[in-house]
Amino acid sequence: MNPELATPGFLLAYFRTPEGFSSVVGNSPGTIARNKTLSSKKLPAIEVPVPPLETQRRFDRLQAKVRRIRTIRAASALDADALIPALLHQVFGAGDRAA
């Protein structure tokens, strides 16, 4: 990979798309019954449509933000899962109310 042409993050994102994954599978010898493998010699032969390098870098920065947001959301969901039962207990489980 030439770092003047493509960023690793952009390439990873491309190869995860249906088009990119199809390119990898198409260049991997073997069958479904046998392991399909992509050799280091065939990988550079796969053509990848690449936008300008600055666009790729901006894409990589946006992907990093998305990862951070997903991490924050997951942590928030865990916090909410712990907080909601405590709030319900505080509101309804005090035992000092008669129905």
The DSSP-derived string for 6-36 is: --HHHHHHHHTSHHHHHHHHHTS-S-SSS--
pLDDT digits (tens, 9 = 90+) for 58-87: 999 999 999 999 999 999 999 888 898 888
Does the pLDDT of residue 37 top 80, yes or no? no
Residue with tokens 């319900």: 88
Distances (CA, A) of 49 to 17, 19, 29, 58, 64: 12, 11, 23, 16, 21
pLDDT at residue 96 in the model: 58
Report the pLDDT averaged over residues 38-59.
89
Q: What's the CA dihedral at 50, 53, 59, 62 to 10 degrees? A: 170
56: pLDDT confidence band, cut at 50, 70 and 90? very high
pLDDT at residue 97 in the model: 57
Does the pLDDT of residue 98 top 60, yes or no? no
